[in-house]
Amino acid sequence: MSQINNDTPTLLLVDDDATFRSVLARALEKRGFSVSTADSVETALPLAQANPPEFAVIDLKMHGASGLVLVQALHELDPATRIVMLTGYASIATAVEAIKLGATQYLSKPANADEIVTAFGHNANPDVPVEAQPATVDKLEWEHINRVLHEQQDNISSTARVLNMHRRTLQRKLAKRPF
């Protein structure tokens, strides 16, 4: 970790995709942040405890613990930390959970540096519904499947058994996004 200038806002970037992490770190540095990076919750926690960041960008699904664990830990360290949760597996259930745990915003991948910087400026309001229009049946089914998949630690076969569904059918349903 480099020497941090007191005028430069600190940012912790945690993502297990090394290429994405490297590119995003450079882009955020160009936008005026002093960026520290980690590839897992387990390596990010000591960095955050040593120097609580003003901003954080955290991937939801990584090797080891979920990014939600880090969101909660960062929020407990400093409730003023602005946290953006990134995920390639967007669902309303995980978005609501991330916001409840302390995330400022929740973005689907791929998100670029400008979208992330913009997201830091928005406060999540838990009183505002996540969606103004009622969800379709297909969307609700997709979200339920993803919630069960998350509960089964992303194990397709186990999720198919819990949902009483053939594994290939489950894979087809996961490949389709109803929105």
Can you tell me whether residue 119 is helix, strand or coil?
helix
- Backbone φ, ψ for residue 174 (5° rounding): -70, -30
Both 116 and 141 in one domain: the answer is: no
Both 77 and 165 in one domain: the answer is: no
Q: Output 136 or 113, whichever has higher pLDDT.
A: 113
Both 91 and 46 in one domain: the answer is: yes
Predicted confidence at residue 143, as pLDDT, reads: 73
In a domain, 1, yes or no: no
Taking the alpha carbons at both ends of the chain, their separation in whole angstroms is 41
Would you give the distance in Å from CA 118 to the centre of its chain? 16
Q: Output 12 or 135, whichever has higher pLDDT.
A: 12
- pLDDT per residue over 99-132, tens digit each? 888 888 888 877 888 889 988 885 444 444 444 4
For the chain, how many residues are written?
179
User: Is-contact 146 138, C-beta < 8 A?
Assistant: no
In a domain, 24, yes or no: yes
Count of domains observed in the chain: 2
Q: What is the DSSP letter of 31?
A: T
Both 141 and 77 in one domain: the answer is: no
- pLDDT per residue over 35-51, tens digit each? 999 999 999 999 999 99
Both 89 and 51 in one domain: the answer is: yes
Q: Is 134 a residue whose pLDDT tops 80?
A: no
Both 100 and 143 in one domain: the answer is: no
Both 141 and 87 in one domain: the answer is: no
CATH of the domain at 141: 1.10.10.60
Closest-CA residue to 3 (of 38, 36, 46): 36
In a domain, 46, yes or no: yes
Predicted confidence at residue 14, as pLDDT, reads: 95
Angle between helices 92-101 and 137-151 (to 10 degrees): 60
**Peptide bond between residue 53 and the one before it cis (omega within 30 degrees of 0):** no
Average per-residue pLDDT for the chain? 82
**Containing structural domain, residue 29:** 10-120
Say which amino acid occupies 11: L
* Average pLDDT score over residue span 16-27: 90
Predicted confidence at residue 130, as pLDDT, reads: 40
CATH of the domain at 33: 3.40.50.2300
Both 144 and 116 in one domain: the answer is: no
Predicted confidence at residue 69, as pLDDT, reads: 92
Provide the b/e sequence for 135-151 (b: ≥16 CB within 10 Å). eeeebeebbebbbbbbe
User: Is-contact 54 7, C-beta < 8 A?
Assistant: no
Both 67 and 149 in one domain: the answer is: no
Cα-only R_g, the chain: 17
Instruction: Average the pLDDT over each of 5-14, 135-144, 154-163 and give the range with the smallest value.
Output: 135-144
In a domain, 33, yes or no: yes
In a domain, 165, yes or no: yes
User: Is-contact 44 10, C-beta < 8 A?
Assistant: no
Both 101 and 52 in one domain: the answer is: yes
Measured CA to CA, the distance from residue 151 to residue 169 in angstroms comes to 19
Predicted confidence at residue 122, as pLDDT, reads: 53
- pLDDT per residue over 76-104, tens digit each? 999 999 999 988 766 777 788 888 888 88
- pLDDT per residue over 159-171, tens digit each? 999 989 999 988 8
Both 116 and 56 in one domain: the answer is: yes
